[in-house]
């Protein structure tokens, strides 16, 4: 987490508001959807997921609101500007995906988006496709070749009179490129080469990158003749002979994954290959890839008000976006990912921050996509030797220390030059623990032996060397380290003590299991037995031994015990103390990476978990595509949302399976799931009207597990599905279940078994409109008629503007953006015939210049004497030609300039 990030509280807003999150899913306490044959819920995934499609019922011209589509290794954001426009990114094309691959524009004459009466753009989560329909005679489908570096745009256009079609690939001006990627040679990223031949056209950069990154963005056409040309040093064009049906294939082929690191040859070969396979076969493969992805797990999270349904929609959308860029050789970066529309511009991207990356990835254990988490783990395991060597150089210790902000190759440049991060020790323990969890969810003992345990051992050795021993008390302690970024050079950072208490017993256990390191285990056990207690007062845990040091960042460090360190929670002796710590945390929901809701779930606080997820969306989900305008992070809050929902439905972190541990008390709440528990158990359950119906369990590997009785002291039985035999009957609060590999079991009340419920299949109806989250400004999708009021959060701001929320003055949506920097610039692109600019006016305010379509309009004085005025129309323009226009606001004084909202005339 970057130390200098501004603490920003943002109220979500969008251009259009609609009904609540659609009708809540229908539910019946009398039926059950468990399928004994599969050992999971019986779900019509195609129709169920269609209710979560994101739908734009009018063209979107704002790049930041572009819908996202990807194939696992590359992605694009799409919007309407002179036809179809997209920014393309590849996961492995540049270090930390800091540099975008380029822009794609498809334009026709007459324009694709001219002369139509109906429009709909649909992101289909189940199929993974983005489809735009104009009337019944134009359809544009964006899709991909699964898990490759090739995507496609398929066009069906039966209009008569189409005279020209042009596809352009281009790059923005790269001459002033900044080194956000921590690359050794920036010049190679400023150098662009192009080609055009009978097979297509492309542009390349990073071709001399010494770390073998770099890429070629190229395109070809299937189904229509075309000619290729180089337009200039940053643009190539395919001129396509008008046809009623054709497919444009494009690739961001990385040097990293290309034979001999030749991305040009790789791009040409990849395009020829997919063109040979053909659109229909590739589309079917792509759909099947996504179908298989979704069918690995299931979540329903619903209630009478529709709020929970909206949160469920965010769950599936977030899963889609992360998976759509999550299968590269390097991780899906928490800011860059595979989706952005800002050229190469990015923030905090010169390394991977572990704190932020864990938010993106950790939910995928429970959702049965361990292969996604493995990509994150691989960043650290592949750098084992580099980290071990650097640890010896820096600390003279035989072990592994992991920098909190680490480059793709294990470098610590982002850490050792920052007081915020240079003395954080706990990152290595988190990385080692995630590798261990990968083993526990997959049962891959070879991975445990060759990868996870060696990393665990070396991190334990580092701590063993760095801990101090008080000879008087016999206690081990931490003399000085950072309690993450917030408290510097303090004694007994709680993150380090939690790291040791979490990691050392596991290292001992695995060492015994593998028959390794008998000489080390007694030393580790001695440390575990004699480690100093966590710093605390009578009621709460503290971030380090008092007195509390100066606060340097806004992290709830003491709550880290709850998650991700997994050393306290429901049923632990210190649960109440952990709850007190959570309740008194100093920065509740204070940033876009806040994991408060996950921790609430771990503590069994169902209402707080629900409200926490809603709070995070209210603050940060500001765009109708599900993304945020918060530049301190992009994907973290979406990953936190995934973890919070999974943990509210199923927990197994402490080797106990617990269903519905943290759901809201709302009697209308309906929860259903098939998720993966530690040990390799697919767990399914349903809860309606406050009643848990059953627990279904499929054992993948034949491990044993502990299960918490969902009905307290009521008698239950465990029935093996294959022969209907009762294998256990008990009224205990928890019990051990020994299983057989691939066997399915049902845990049911003796008094009300699963057979007392009628059988059903879960399904849904396709979404057709915008959704909104009650009591917030968060929406998904665009309605046919735009809201004339556009909140300040919809504009694009440079770094000298700051957002404030909950102002209490009466601003539109109770939030504004402000600046006191001369030259600070903001702009908003709209479609209409007029616009009003709304601001506050007050005695401490200054002047701003207003431009429309790059033409100066007026200098507006926001100063007044007397009481503050809000929602004031300070400048307006009417009678514009109907079409797309851009308003730009430039602050002109060191006094405050404010943007509250815009009002658009259609």
Residues 6 or more apart in contact with residue 840 via CB below 8 angstroms: 809, 811, 816, 862, 868, 869, 870, 871, 872, 898, 900
Q: Is the separation of the CB atoms in 392 and 398 below 8 Å? A: yes
Provide the token pair at 544.
């380090």
Q: Which helix (H) or strand (E) segment is 236 a member of?
A: strand 235-240
Place of tokens 């226009």: 885
pLDDT value at position 147? 82
Digit-coded pLDDT (tens) for 760-795: 999 999 999 999 999 888 999 999 877 788 889 889
Cα–Cα distance for residue pair 61/39, rounded to 1 Å? 46
Average pLDDT over residues 721-729: 98
Q: What mean pLDDT comes out for the span 452-461?
A: 98
Please report, to the nearest 10 degrees, the dihedral formed by the alpha carbons of residues 353, 447, 646, 685 taken in order: 180
Instruction: Give CA–CA dist 477/400, Å, rounded.
Output: 19
**Residue owning tokens 């600046």:** 819
Give residue 674's Cα distance to chain centre: 21
pLDDT of residue 377: 98
CA of 360: how far to CAs of 354, 385, 635, 796, in Å? 10, 26, 6, 25
Helix orientation angle between 636-649 and 606-620, rounded to the nearest 10 degrees: 160
Instruction: Scan for tokens 């158990």, then name that residue.
Output: 681
Query: Measured between alpha carbons, how far is 498 from 487 in angstroms, rounded to an integer?
Result: 16
**Helices marked H in 143-198:** 187-190
* Bond prior to 564 in cis (omega within 30° of 0): yes
> Tens of pLDDT along 616-659?
999 999 999 999 998 888 999 999 999 999 999 999 999 999 99
Task: Report residue 884 as tokens.
Answer: 């797309």
Confidence of residue 888 (pLDDT cuts 50, 70, 90): very high
Instruction: Give the pLDDT confidence score for residue 882 in this predicted structure.
Output: 75
Q: Return the pLDDT at 642.
A: 98
- What Å distances lie between residue 735 and 14, 260, 527, 677, CA to CA? 49, 56, 31, 16
- Average pLDDT of the chain is 94
Nearest one of 514, 549, 520, 524 to 535, comparing CA atoms: 549
Q: Would strands 475-477 and 481-483 be described as parallel, antiparallel, or unpaired?
A: unpaired
User: CA–CA distance from 797 to each of 634, 892, 898, 899 (Å)?
Assistant: 16, 15, 12, 10
Residue whose entry in the numeric block shows the structure tokens 């992009």:
634
Residue 471, pLDDT above cutoff 90: yes
Could you read off the pLDDT of 396-437 as tens digits, one per residue?
Answer: 999 999 999 999 999 999 899 899 999 999 999 999 999 999
Residue with tokens 């254990």: 365
Residues 847, 841: contact at Cβ < 8 Å? no
pLDDT of residue 614: 97
| Spatial separation of the C-alpha atoms in residues 124 and 119, rounded to whole Å | 16
Neighbours of 393 (CB within 10 A): 9
Rounded average pLDDT over 691-707: 98
| ∠ CA 810-814-820, rounded to 5° | 95
104 in Cβ contact with 167 (< 8 Å): yes
Q: What is the CA radius of gyration of the chain?
A: 28
Q: Is 149 helix (H, G, I), strand (E, B) or coil?
A: coil
- Using the 8-state DSSP alphabet, how is residue 450 labeled? I
pLDDT at 783: 92
Q: Which residue has the tokens 């511009």?
A: 345
CA–CA dist 445, 701 (Å, integer): 12
Q: CA 236, CA 169: separation in Å to the nearest integer? A: 5
Taking the C-alpha atoms of residue 151 and residue 142, their distance in angstroms, rounded to an integer, is: 7
Please name the helix (run of DSSP H) or strand (run of DSSP E) that holds residue 516, with its range, or none: none
Predicted local confidence at residue 830, as pLDDT = 87
**Tokens describing residue 725:** 């035999």
Here the tokens at position 692 are 């848990």
Strand partners, 77: 68, 87
CB atoms < 10 A from the CB of 896, how many? 19
pLDDT tens digits, one per residue of 516-575: 999 999 999 999 999 999 999 999 999 999 999 999 999 999 999 999 999 999 999 999
The CA distance from 352 to 485, in Å, is 15
Q: Which residue has the tokens 């294998």?
A: 727
Of the chain, the percentage scoring pLDDT greater than 90 comes to 90
> Cα dihedral sign for 510, 512, 517, 519?
positive
Does pTM top 0.85 for this prediction?
A: yes
Instruction: Tell me which residue has tokens 């918490």.
Output: 708
How many whole angstroms from its chain centre is CA 835? 34
pLDDT of residue 27: 55
Taking a C-beta distance cutoff of 8 angstroms, is the pair 153, 226 a contact? no
For residues 743 and 396, what is the distance between their CA atoms, to the nearest angstrom? 51
- Comparing 25 with 580, the larger pLDDT belongs to 580
Q: What are phi and psi of 365, to 5 degrees?
A: -65, -55
Say whether pLDDT at 753 is over 60: yes
Distance, in Å, from the CA atom of 464 to the CA atom of 399, rounded to the nearest integer, reads 9
- For 604-640, give one letter per residue: b (16+ CB within 10 A) or e: bbbebbbbbbbbbbbbbbbbbbbbbbbbbbbbbbbbb
Query: Which two structure tokens, joined as six digits, stand for 11?
Result: 């109220």
Q: Per the structure block, which two tokens stand in for 706?
A: 């502990």
pLDDT, tens digit, for every residue of 475-510? 999 999 999 999 999 999 999 999 999 999 999 999
φ and ψ of 553, to 5 deg: -155, 175
- Of 174-183, 209-218, 369-378, 569-578, least confident by mean pLDDT is 174-183
Give SS3 for 77: strand
DSSP lists the bridge partners of residue 903 as: 789, 836
Residue 379's SS3 state is helix
3-state secondary structure at position 629 = coil
Question: Taking the C-alpha atoms of 172, 173, 175 and 179 in order, what is their torsion angle to the nearest 10 degrees?
Answer: -40
- What pLDDT is recorded for position 18? 36
Q: With b meaning 16 or more CB within 10 Å and e meaning fewer, what string describes 63-89?
A: bbbbbbbbbbbbbbbbbbbebbbbbbb
pLDDT > 70: percent of the chain: 97
Per-residue model confidence (pLDDT) at position 118: 93
Question: Which helix (H) or strand (E) covers residue 600, if one does?
Answer: helix 596-602
d(CA 210, CA 183): 9
More confident residue, 3 or 683: 683
What are 364-398's pLDDT values in tens digits? 999 999 999 999 999 999 999 999 999 999 999 99
Q: Given the structure tokens 């050795």, which residue do they identify?
A: 461
Mean pLDDT to the nearest integer, 102-111: 97
Closest CA to 346 of 537, 142, 631: 631
SS3 assignment, position 278: coil
CA distance 851 to 249: 39
Tokens standing for residue 501: 């208490």
Distance (Å, whole) CA 76 – CA 320 = 13
Which residue bears the tokens 């239950």? 716
Which pLDDT tens digit goes with each residue over 78-98? 999 989 999 999 999 999 999
Q: Is the pLDDT of residue 21 over 60?
A: no
Q: Give the rounded distance of the alpha carbon of 670 from its chain centre.
A: 25
Q: How confident is the model at residue 15 (pLDDT cuts 50, 70, 90)?
A: very low
Q: Compute the distance between CA of residue 369 and CA of residue 357 in angstroms, rounded to an integer.
A: 16
| Per-residue H/E/C for 747-773 | EEECCCCHHHCEECCECCCCCCCCEEC
DSSP label of 213: -
Give the span between the Cα atoms of 468 and 586, in whole angstroms: 29
Look at residue 4 and tell me whether its pLDDT is greater than 50. Answer: no
Is the model's pLDDT at 13 over the cut of 80? no
């Amino acid at each position: 987490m970057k130390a200098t990030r501004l603490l920003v509280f943002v109220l979500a807003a969008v251009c259009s508001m609609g009904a609540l999150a659609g009708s809540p899913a229908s539910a019946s306490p009398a039926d059950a959807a468990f399928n004994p044959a599969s050992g999971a819920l019986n779900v019509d995934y195609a129709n169920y997921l269609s209710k979560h499609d994101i739908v734009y019922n009018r063209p979107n011209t704002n790049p930041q609101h572009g819908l996202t589509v990807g194939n696992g290794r590359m992605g694009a954001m799409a919007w309407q500007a002179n036809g179809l426009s997209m920014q393309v990114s590849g996961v492995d094309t540049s270090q930390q995906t800091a540099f975008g691959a380029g822009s794609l524009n498809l334009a026709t004459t007459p324009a694709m988006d001219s002369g139509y009466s109906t429009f709909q753009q649909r992101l289909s989560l189940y199929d993974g496709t983005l489809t735009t329909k104009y009337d019944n005679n134009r359809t544009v489908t964006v899709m991909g070749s699964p898990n490759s570096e090739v995507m496609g745009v398929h066009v069906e256009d039966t209009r008569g009179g189409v005279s020209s079609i042009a596809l352009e690939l281009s790059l923005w001006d790269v001459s002033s490129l900044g080194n956000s990627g921590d690359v050794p040679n920036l010049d190679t990223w400023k150098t662009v080469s192009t080609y055009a031949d009978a097979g297509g056209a492309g542009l390349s950069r990073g071709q001399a990158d010494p770390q073998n990154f770099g890429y070629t963005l190229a395109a070809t056409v299937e189904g229509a003749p075309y000619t290729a040309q180089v337009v200039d040093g940053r643009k190539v064009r395919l001129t396509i002979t008008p046809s009623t049906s054709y497919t444009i294939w494009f690739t961001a082929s990385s040097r990293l994954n290309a034979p001999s690191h030749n991305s040009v040859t790789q791009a040409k070969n990849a395009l020829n290959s997919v063109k040979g396979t053909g659109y229909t076969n590739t589309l079917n493969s792509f759909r099947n890839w996504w179908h298989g992805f979704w069918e690995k797990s299931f979540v329903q999270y619903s209630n009478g008000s529709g709020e929970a349904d909206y949160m469920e929609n965010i769950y599936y959308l977030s899963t889609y976006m992360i998976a759509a860029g999550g299968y590269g050789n390097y991780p899906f970066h928490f800011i860059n990912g595979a989706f952005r529309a800002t050229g190469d511009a990015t923030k905090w991207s010169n390394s991977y921050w572990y704190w932020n990356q864990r938010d993106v990835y950790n939910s995928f254990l429970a959702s049965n996509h361990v292969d996604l988490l493995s990509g994150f783990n691989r960043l650290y395991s592949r750098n084992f030797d580099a980290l071990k060597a650097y640890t010896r150089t820096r600390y003279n210790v035989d072990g592994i220390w992991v920098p909190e902000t680490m480059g793709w190759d294990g470098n610590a440049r982002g850490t050792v030059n920052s007081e915020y991060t240079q003395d954080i020790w706990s990152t290595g323990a988190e990385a080692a623990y995630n590798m261990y969890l990968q083993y526990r969810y997959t049962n891959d003992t070879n991975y445990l032996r060759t990868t996870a345990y060696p990393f665990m051992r070396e991190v334990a050795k580092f701590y063993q060397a760095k801990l101090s021993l008080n000879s008087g008390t016999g206690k081990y302690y931490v003399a000085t380290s950072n309690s993450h970024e917030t408290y510097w050079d303090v004694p007994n950072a709680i993150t380090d003590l939690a790291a040791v208490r979490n990691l050392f017993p596991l290292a001992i256990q695995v060492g015994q299991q593998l028959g390794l390191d008998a000489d080390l285990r007694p030393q580790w056990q001695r440390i575990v037995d004699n480690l100093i207690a966590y710093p605390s007062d009578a009621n709460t845990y503290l971030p380090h031994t008092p007195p509390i040091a100066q606060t340097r960042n806004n992290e709830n460090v003491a709550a880290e015990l709850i998650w991700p360190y997994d050393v306290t929670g429901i049923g632990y002796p210190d649960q109440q103390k952990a709850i007190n710590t959570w309740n008194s945390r100093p920065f509740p929901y204070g940033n876009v990476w806040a994991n408060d809701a996950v921790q609430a779930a771990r503590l069994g606080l169902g209402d707080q978990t629900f409200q926490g997820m809603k709070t995070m969306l209210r603050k940060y989900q500001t765009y109708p595509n599900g993304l945020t305008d918060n530049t301190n992070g992009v994907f973290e809050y979406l990953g936190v949302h995934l973890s919070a929902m999974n943990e509210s439905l199923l927990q197994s972190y402490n080797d106990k399976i617990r269903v519905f541990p943290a759901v809201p008390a709302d009697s209308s709440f309906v929860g259903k799931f098939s998720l993966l528990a530690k040990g390799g158990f697919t767990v399914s359950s349903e809860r309606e009207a406050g009643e848990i119906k059953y627990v279904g369990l499929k054992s993948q590997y034949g491990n044993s597990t502990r299960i918490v009785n969902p009905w307290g002291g009521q008698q239950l039985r465990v029935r093996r599905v294959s022969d209907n035999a009762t294998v256990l009957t008990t009224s205990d609060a928890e019990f051990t279940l020994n299983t057989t590999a691939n066997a399915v079991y049902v845990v049911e009340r003796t008094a009300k078994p699963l057979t007392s419920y009628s059988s059903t299949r879960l399904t849904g109806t396709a979404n057709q409109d915008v959704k909104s989250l009650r009591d917030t400004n968060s929406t998904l999708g665009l309605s046919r008629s735009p809201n004339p009021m556009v909140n300040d959060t919809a504009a694009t701001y440079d770094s000298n503007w700051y957002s404030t929320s909950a102002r209490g003055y009466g601003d539109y949506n109770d939030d504004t953006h402000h600046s006191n920097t001369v030259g600070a610039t903001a702009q908003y692109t709209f479609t209409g015939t007029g616009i009003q600019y709304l601001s506050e006016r007050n005695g401490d305010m200054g002047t701003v210049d207003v431009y429309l379509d790059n033409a100066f309009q007026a200098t507006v004085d926001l100063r007044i004497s007397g009481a503050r005025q809000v929602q004031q129309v300070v400048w307006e323009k009417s009678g514009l030609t109907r079409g797309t226009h851009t308003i730009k606001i430039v602050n002109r004084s060191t006094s405050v300039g404010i943007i509250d909202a815009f009002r658009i005339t259609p």
